[in-house]
Amino acid sequence: MPWLKFLKYNYRMKNRSSGLLLWLLLLAMCTGKKPKVYPQPINTNPAVFYNKDVKPIFEKRCAGCHNGATRSTNWLQYSMAYEWRELIKTRVYIYKDMPYGRFPPMPDDERAIVKDWVEQGARE
């Protein structure tokens, strides 16, 4: 290890200042904080549940059409909303083209609740 030889040489030659600097550098390298590896980002917004938070929104905004009769998809049925959750998030939060025709307008906070619900695993 050439750097060790260099340190010993410096020490013997009483040229300690450069050796000291190198030791300090080594110390800094060893104690330096390693970058933390974080898990995949998760949605940390307040917990959202289907029955409590999302179904009332679907009743108000979607059930006129997505009721199993007008359209085959029925968002008032948890299992069906769960199955279609990613597309629901896409249409409601990303494209914002649902509710169909964009009228009456759906406020952004309601859209965000639907998004949080999907991102938190679409819990019942």
Residues numbered 24 to 53 that lie near ligand HEC (CB under 6 A) are: none
Tell me the two tokens of residue 110: 């309601």
89 is an interface residue for ligand HEC by CB under 6 A: no
- Please tell me the distance from the alpha carbon of residue 81 to that of residue 77, in angstroms, as a whole number: 6
85 is an interface residue for ligand HEC by CB under 6 A: no
Q: Are 84 and 73 in contact (CB under 8 A)?
A: yes
Rg of the chain over CA atoms, in angstroms? 30
87 is an interface residue for ligand HEC by CB under 6 A: yes
* Residue ranges that bind ligand HEC, judged by CB under 6 A: 58, 61-62, 64-66, 71, 73, 75, 84, 87-88, 91-92, 98-101, 106
